[in-house]
């Protein structure tokens, strides 16, 4: 192979001419070529070339802009050459001459200086560097353990780093070793240089999904931009799951009935493993796994939900065990459809045993239902009080009912019930007692008793009172004298019943008895009257002792 | 890399004698010594910073050829010859690297060169001048003074002293060169 070393022999002034051209290798000493044009005629200019040291043959000749054929060099240094004659009609570039070196070898490398002496103008010096490149070997690729890699590298893990090194031997000057991905330069820094080897280590800090199947190329060129040798390697990558989704709606699972819940995951290479968790704890139900051929995995779990599960979180987790730390989850709250769970309680300041006649009591009904209840009913015993009461705005599951103006008949058990399409729930009842002052039991507020003179008579008084701890006192009202208290020793009490026994002897002993009762609440307002009349006034009525 | 050895050519040595410093306005003579042995001389070329400004070729007519238009170089032709070149009234721009290249005649044109640097200086013609407030100060005041040198090239190094004691650099601001060449 020949090398052409350019030298500009154009004089700055067109009227001037080249006087002498000297070519030096490495600047000094005897020039390896001379062109003596001092006689002014370029066609007759003297070329001189030194002999190549070992072979003794000339290897240089200087081709100028002369239109004619340059004469072969003459003189003691000359030796026969092969002169390349310009083709007929081809014009060499004017004023740019070339020194042609035949069959370049490594010894010819170096800096050449072309010194051009003009007749008039200052001398110009022109330097050219000759580099001989020998091609490098084909690159060899190693993994991070130093093992040679074939067509396929890996498998690498998504998110983890990747290391490959490319080694090139020989090559002069030292080859440029680069890593490429398609048209993108990844790495042009060479880490290791020994006398015979050049190594470029490639580190990718985090392997991505796009790297699966990507082709990395290592190029070795003697100079940047020169034709290169290359080695390709395809990447194999384990991928984390990309998508996880619970496909089944969990808004209304039926309570007590099995329901199949499906979870789908894709993106994992190889296929992901799926686990189910309920509030963070793994389910060990039988899971059926079906794998598609497009890297989609479906897992199915059978759930039998109870009302307690309402509001708990079900998670489907997809994981590729070959890529640690790369799992994905889809979490959903379970809503279990169930019949309402109802509780009733007092929402009053007073407790259930402190209520008094005339008070009002607020009852609160808490309903836990999914779906929400259609109706809510209030009961006193089994008697329906009301349906569909207004919910409290801040607590949709809580309702209120006010019982006003409590009386003795208000006492008893209160309960509420709610129903939805899953069923009806009824609360345990809450008992209310209402305290009131005594009043005459029905039928005892105004009685007539006939008595015979001299015959003992027993009179009875029955009251209703809460608490039932009652004290009685009697009064006797004769028509002319007014009321007098009846001595207590004539009175017998048994709970809410009081007996009075006496013997009417004279007309004075007939009249109206008043039965007064009182408890912790208060005293009876109007006593229970018993009118004791002489029996003879009622001849048709047999005497009765009541 | 040593010159290729060619049978019959004796080694050529060249060395220059260049004054390292000259004052502005002086003449400077640069000498080029060489030994061609028995060989004939082809050319002596003088370069300043890689520009040829004088050449001597015994076979040329004229033998001496000075070049104009090289900055800072005014060749005194009568006092220049094969072994020396004289520059008239050097200026600051005459500073540079001067190289002499000597080539023998045909057939070999054996060449060698040597170079050295010449620096043209301008020494200040007057003493430096201190300007600043001349009045009474309190202890703890900060007082600033300026010291201005005469024109000089290269820039003068200024040094402060107080009552004969040399002052450390940290107490003085960095010197500034003014376009006319003064320092502060």
Q: What is the per-residue DSSP string for A442-454? A: TT-SEEEEEE-TT
What pLDDT was estimated at residue A179? 95
Of A110, A128, A26, A36, nearest to A77 by C-alpha is A36
Query: Which stretch of A431-445, A485-499, B164-178 has the lowest confidence by average pLDDT?
Result: B164-178
Closest chain A residue to the Cα of B68, Cα to Cα: A122
* Identity of the residue in A30, A46, A117 whose CB atom sits nearest the CB atom of B110: A30
pLDDT above 70 coverage of chain A, percent? 84
- Report the distance separating Cα A42 and Cα A64, nearest Å: 9
- The C-alpha atoms of residue A407 and residue A414 are separated, in whole angstroms, by 14
| pLDDT tier at B172, thresholds 50, 70, 90 | low
pLDDT digits (tens, 9 = 90+) for A433-451: 999 999 999 888 899 988 8
Cβ atoms within 10 Å of A46's Cβ, excluding its own: 17
Whether residue A472 has pLDDT greater than 90: yes
Q: Which residue of B has its CA nearest to A120?
A: B65
Peptide bond between residue A448 and the one before it cis (omega within 30 degrees of 0): no
List, in sequence order, every residue forming a beta bridge with B183; answer none if it has no partner: B177
Least confident of A6-15, A41-50, A516-525, B108-117: A41-50
What is the average pLDDT value for chain A, to the nearest integer? 82
**Three-class HEC string of chain B:** CCCCCCCCCCCCEEEEECCCEEECCCCEEEEEEEECCCCCEEEEEEEECCEEEEEECCCCCCCEEECCCCCCCCECHHHCCCCEEEECCCCHHHCEEEEEEEEECCCCCCEEEEEEEEEEEECCCCCCEEECCCCCCCCCCCCCCEEECCCCECCCCCCCEECCEECCHHHCCCCCECCCCCEC
Please list, in sequence order, all residues whose beta carbon lies within 8 angstroms of the beta carbon of residue A303, skipping any fewer than 6 positions away. Answer: A253, A258, A259, A260, A261, A285, A314, A334
Q: Residue A55: what pLDDT? A: 38
More confident call, A535 vs A529: A529
Confidence of residue A178 (pLDDT cuts 50, 70, 90): very high
- Of A24, A53, A122, nearest to B52 by CB-CB distance is A122
**Higher per-residue pLDDT: A309 or A53:** A309
- B-facing residues of A in 136-175 (CB < 8 A) are none
CB pairs under 8 A between A and B: 66
Cα of first residue to Cα of last residue in chain A, in angstroms, is 153
CA–CA distance, A316 with A274 (Å, rounded to integer) = 7
Q: Is A13 on the interface with B (CB under 8 A)?
A: no
For residue A155, whether the previous peptide bond is cis, meaning omega lies within 30 degrees of 0, is: yes
Q: In this prediction, what percent of chain A has a pLDDT beyond 90?
A: 34
- pLDDT: is A54 or A530 the higher one? A530
**Confidence band (pLDDT; 50, 70, 90) for A235?**
very high
CB contact under 8 Å between A29 and B113, yes or no, is no
Bridge partners (DSSP) listed for residue B34: B14
Q: Is A46 on the interface with B (CB under 8 A)?
A: yes
Q: What pLDDT score does A69 carry?
A: 37
Mind listing the pLDDT tens digit for each residue in B43-89? 999 999 999 999 999 998 899 999 988 888 999 999 999 999 999 99
Residue from B63, B62, B65, B86 nearest B74 by CA: B86
- To the nearest 10°, report the CA torsion of A33, A36, A41, A43: -20
Q: A14: helix, coil or strand?
A: coil
B50–A125: do the CB atoms touch at under 8 Å?
A: yes
Q: Is A475 helix (H, G, I), strand (E, B) or coil?
A: strand
Give the CA angle between residues A453, A457, A461 to the nearest 5°.
Answer: 140
CB A115 within 8 A of CB A123: yes
User: Could you tell me the maximum CA-CA distance found in chain B, to the nearest angstrom?
Assistant: 86
Give chain A positions within 8 Å (CB) of B42: 20
The predicted model gives B149-172 an average pLDDT of 79
pTM, 2 dp: 0.49
CA gap A283, A303 in Å, rounded:
10
Q: What is the DSSP string of A90-154?
A: PPPPTTEEEEEESS--GGG-EEEEEEEEESSSPPEEEEEEE---BPPPPPEEEETTS-B--SEEE
Identify the band that residue A139 occupies on the pLDDT scale cut at 50, 70 and 90. Answer: very high
Q: How far is A90 from chain B (nearest CA, A)?
A: 32
Query: CA A519 to CA A514: how far, in whole Å?
Result: 17
Cα–Cα dist A300/A247, whole Å: 10
pLDDT bucket at A288, cuts 50 / 70 / 90: low
Question: Considering all CA atoms of chain A, what is the largest pairwise distance in Å, rounded to the nearest integer?
Answer: 192
Tens-digit pLDDT profile for residues B89-148: 999 999 999 999 999 988 888 899 999 999 999 988 888 888 888 888 888 888 888 888
pLDDT of residue A295 exceeding 90 = no
Pairing of strands A33-36, A18-25: antiparallel
pLDDT at A465: 92
Say which residues have a Cβ less than 8 Å from residue A386's Cβ, sequence separation at least 6. A377, A378, A401
Gap between the Cα atoms of B5 and B2, Å rounded: 8
| pLDDT score, position B66 | 93
CATH superfamily, domain B12-121, is Immunoglobulins (2.60.40.10)
CA B23 – CA B119 distance, rounded (Å): 9
| Contact residues on chain B for A36, CB-CB shorter than 8 A | 106
Q: Which residues pair with B180 in a beta bridge?
A: none
Cβ neighbours around A464 below 10 Å, total: 18
Query: Any CB–CB contact under 8 A between B69 and chain A?
Result: no
Number of Cβ within 10 Å of residue A181's Cβ equals: 17
The minimal CB distance from A22 to the residues B107, B111, B113 is found for B111
Contact B130, B145 (CB under 8 A): yes
Check pLDDT > 50 for residue A54: no
Q: How close, in Å, is residue A11 to chain B by CA atoms?
A: 14
Q: Is B103 on the interface with A (CB under 8 A)?
A: yes
Q: Which residue of B has its CA nearest to A38?
A: B60
Residues pairing with A23 in the sheet: A33, A114
pLDDT score, position A25: 86
- CB interface of B with A, residues 15-44, below 8 Å: 42-43
What is the C-alpha end-to-end distance of chain B, expressed in Å? 50
Q: Angle at the Cα of A328 (from A323 to A329), degrees rounded to 5?
A: 150
Mean pLDDT value of segment A96-122? 84
Residues whose CB falls within 8 Å of the CB of residue A533, separated by 6 or more in sequence, listed in order? A448, A449, A450, A451, A510
User: Beta-carbon neighbour count of residue A498 at 10 Å?
Assistant: 23
Which DSSP category does A71 fall into? Answer: P
CA distances from A19 to A10, A31, A34 (A): 11, 16, 11
**Sign of torsion over alpha carbons A33, A38, A40, A41:** negative
Q: Which of B9, B67, B111 sits opposite A24 (nearest CB)?
A: B111
Pick the residue of A19, A29, A32, A117 with the most B CBs within 10 A to test the interface with B by mutation: A29
Residue in B5, B50, B107 nearest the CB of A75: B107
- Contact call for B109 and A30, based on CB within 8 A: yes
Contact A50/B4, CB-based, under 8 Å? Answer: yes
B48 phi and psi angles, rounded to 5 deg? -115, 120
Higher pLDDT, residue A478 or A180: A180
Would you state the pLDDT for residue B146? 83
More confident residue, A14 or A42: A14
Nearest to B92 by CA among B120, B125, B123: B120
3-state secondary structure of A524: coil
Q: Are strands A327-333 and A281-282 parallel, antiparallel or unpaired?
A: unpaired
Instruction: Determine contact, residues A216/A143, Cβ cutoff 8 Å.
Output: no
Identify the pLDDT of residue A153: 92
Tens digit of each residue's pLDDT (9 = 90 or more) over A182-230: 899 999 888 878 888 999 999 999 999 999 999 999 999 887 777 889 9
Domains of chain B by residue range: 12-121, 123-173
Inter-chain touch B111–A31, beta carbons under 8 Å: yes
Q: Which residue from B1, B106, B113 is facing A36, i.e. has the nearest CB?
A: B106
Please indicate if any CB of chain B lies within 8 Å of the CB of A36: yes
Residue B177: band (very low, low, confident or very high) from pLDDT cuts 50, 70, 90: low
Residue of B nearest to A19 (CA): B60
Residue A123 and residue B106: Cβ atoms within 8 Å? no
Q: How does DSSP classify residue A42?
A: G
| pLDDT(A247) > 50 | yes
């Amino acid at each position: 192979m020949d090398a052409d070393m350019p030298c500009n022999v154009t004089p700055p002034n067109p009227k001037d001419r080249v006087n002498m051209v000297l070519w030096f290798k490495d600047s000094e000493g005897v020039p390896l070529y001379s062109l003596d044009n001092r006689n002014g005629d370029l066609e007759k200019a003297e070329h001189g070339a030194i002999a190549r040291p070992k072979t003794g043959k000339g290897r240089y000749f200087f081709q100028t802009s002369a239109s004619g054929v340059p004469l072969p060099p003459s003189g003691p240094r000359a030796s026969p050459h092969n002169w390349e004659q310009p083709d007929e009609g081809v014009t060499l570039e004017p004023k740019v001459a070339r020194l042609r070196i035949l069959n370049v070898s490594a010894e010819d490398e170096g800096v050449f200086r072309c010194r051009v002496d003009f007749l008039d103008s200052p001398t110009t010096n022109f330097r050219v560097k000759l580099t001989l490149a020998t091609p490098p070997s084909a690159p060899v690729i190693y993994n991070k353990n130093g093992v040679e890699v074939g067509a396929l590298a890996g498998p690498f893990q998504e998110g983890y780093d990747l290391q490959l090194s490319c080694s090139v031997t020989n090559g002069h000057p030292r080859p440029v070793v680069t890593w490429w991905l398609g048209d993108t330069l990844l790495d042009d820094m060479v880490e290791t240089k020994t006398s015979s080897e050049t190594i470029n280590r490639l580190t990718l800090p985090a392997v991505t999904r796009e790297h699966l199947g990507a082709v990395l190329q290592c190029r070795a060129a003697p100079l940047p931009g020169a034709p290169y040798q290359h080695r390709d390697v395809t990447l194999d990558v384990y991928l984390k799951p990309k998508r996880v989704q619970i496909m089944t709606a969990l808004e209304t699972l039926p309570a007590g009935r099995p329901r199949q819940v499906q979870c789908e995951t894709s993106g994992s290479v190889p296929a992901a493993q799926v686990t189910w968790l309920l509030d963070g704890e793994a389910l060990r139900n039988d899971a059926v796994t079906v794998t598609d051929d497009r890297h989609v995995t479906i897992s199915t779990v059978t759930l039998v939900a109870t009302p307690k599960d309402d509001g708990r979180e079900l998670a489907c987790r997809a994981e590729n065990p070959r890529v640690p730390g790369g799992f994905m989850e889809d979490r959903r709250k379970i809503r279990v459809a169930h019949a309402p769970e109802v509780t009733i309680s007092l929402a009053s300041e007073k407790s259930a045993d402190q209520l008094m006649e005339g008070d009002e009591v607020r009852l609160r009904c808490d309903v836990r239902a999914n779906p929400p209840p259609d109706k809510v009913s209030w009961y006193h015993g089994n008697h329906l009080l009301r349906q569909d009461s207004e919910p409290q705005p801040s607590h949709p599951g809580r309702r209120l009912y006010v019982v006003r103006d409590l009386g003795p008949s208000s006492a008893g058990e209160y309960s509420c019930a709610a129903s939805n399409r899953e069923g009806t729930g009824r609360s345990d009842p809450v008992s209310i007692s209402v305290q009131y002052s005594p009043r005459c039991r029905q039928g005892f507020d105004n009685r007539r008793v006939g008595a015979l003179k001299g015959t003992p008579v027993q009179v009875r008084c029955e009251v209703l009172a809460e608490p039932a701890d009652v004290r009685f006192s009697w009064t006797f009202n004769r028509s002319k004298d007014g009321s007098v208290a009846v001595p207590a020793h004539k009175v017998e009490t048994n709970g809410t019943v009081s007996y009075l026994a006496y013997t009417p002897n004279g007309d004075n002993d007939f009249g109206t008895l008043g039965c007064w009762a009182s408890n912790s609440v208060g005293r009876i307002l109007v006593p229970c009257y018993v009118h004791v009349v002489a029996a003879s006034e009622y001849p048709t009525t047999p005497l009765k002792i009541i | 890399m040593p010159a290729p050895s060619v049978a019959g050519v004796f080694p050529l040595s060249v060395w220059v004698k260049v004054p390292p410093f000259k004052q502005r306005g002086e003449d400077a003579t640069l000498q080029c010594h060489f030994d061609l042995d028995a060989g004939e001389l082809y050319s002596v070329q003088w370069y300043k910073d890689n520009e040829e400004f004088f050449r001597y070729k015994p076979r040329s007519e004229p033998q001496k050829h000075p070049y104009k238009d090289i900055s800072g170089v005014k060749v005194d032709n009568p006092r220049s010859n094969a072994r020396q070149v004289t520059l008239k009234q050097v200026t600051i721009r005459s500073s540079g690297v001067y190289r002499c290249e000597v080539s023998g005649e045909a057939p070999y044109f054996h060449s060698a060169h040597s170079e050295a640097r010449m620096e043209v200086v301008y020494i200040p013609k007057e003493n430096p001048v201190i300007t600043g407030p001349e009045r009474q100060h309190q202890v703890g005041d900060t007082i600033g003074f300026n010291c201005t040198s005469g024109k000089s090239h290269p820039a003068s190094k200024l040094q402060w002293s107080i009552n004969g004691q040399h002052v450390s650099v940290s107490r003085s601001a960095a010197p500034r060169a003014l376009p006319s060449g003064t320092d502060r």
